[in-house]
Amino acid sequence: MKFGLKAVSAALFGAVLAWSAGPVDAVAQTQKRVDAKKDWSIFQAGNGAQRLCWIVSQPTKSAAFRNGKAVSVNRGDIFMMIAIRPADGVTNEVSFLGGYPFKKGSEVKASVGKSNFTLFTEGETAWAPSSDDDNALIAAFRKGSNAKVEGTSSRGTKTVDTFSLSGFTAALQAAADLCK
């Protein structure tokens, strides 16, 4: 995976802080990339009861369309992330950072092979609506080779991002082991 550690850390730091119920300073001081498994990086932040672990990947391919025609757009960081927050009883929370504000009230479509999923949006992020949906996505990610994510920006631009799932299962297991 070819993306800068600084970009990943900066983009994820806000998400980690939002997830953390603990003191900001404790999380800030201990956030680190601990490993990578092919196309997925593994991060850990905090310690003890406030430990957080997550895996993240950037798309291998991105496209944007307006009125059915391919267009060039400027987007912020684009990531697929799976988070584990033991203190909150959260395992395998799937989220997608689109790199732009999503159209208000819109949904993001994710697909792996023939399996299709719907994520809800808020700001620049999309999430699965329930832990059951998270688990279904995780099961599909483990079996698939690529995930496609389609969203619509607040300006009406449709985006299609493709993520490699190479290394996904090993990375998720490593993150789960870190956050036992």
Domain with 41 in it: what CATH number?
A: 2.60.40.1880
| Number of structural domains found in the chain | 1
Environment class of residue 36 by beta-carbon count within 10 Å: exposed (0-12), middle (13-18) or buried (19+)?
Answer: middle
Better-scored residue on pLDDT, 89 or 31: 89
- What integer pLDDT is reported at residue 11 of this predicted model? 43
Percent of the chain with pLDDT over 90: 78
Tell whether the model's pLDDT for residue 6 goes beyond 90: no
CB atoms closer than 10 angstroms to residue 31: 17
CB 62 within 8 A of CB 97: no
Tell whether the model's pLDDT for residue 16 goes beyond 50: no
Confidence of residue 8 (pLDDT cuts 50, 70, 90): very low
Mean pLDDT over 152-171 rounds to 98
The mean predicted confidence, pLDDT, of the chain is 87
Domain residue limits at 136: 5-178
- What integer pLDDT is reported at residue 180 of this predicted model? 87
- What integer pLDDT is reported at residue 13 of this predicted model? 42
Measure the CA–CA gap between 78 and 99, rounded to whole angstroms. Answer: 5
CB atoms closer than 10 angstroms to residue 118: 12
- What integer pLDDT is reported at residue 30 of this predicted model? 58
Tell whether the model's pLDDT for residue 145 goes beyond 90: yes
Confidence of residue 143 (pLDDT cuts 50, 70, 90): very high
Residue with tokens 């599909």, as numbered in its chain:
140
Measure the CA–CA gap between 54 and 84, rounded to whole angstroms. Answer: 6
Tell whether the model's pLDDT for residue 1 goes beyond 90: no
Tell whether the model's pLDDT for residue 116 goes beyond 50: yes
Tell whether the model's pLDDT for residue 82 goes beyond 70: yes
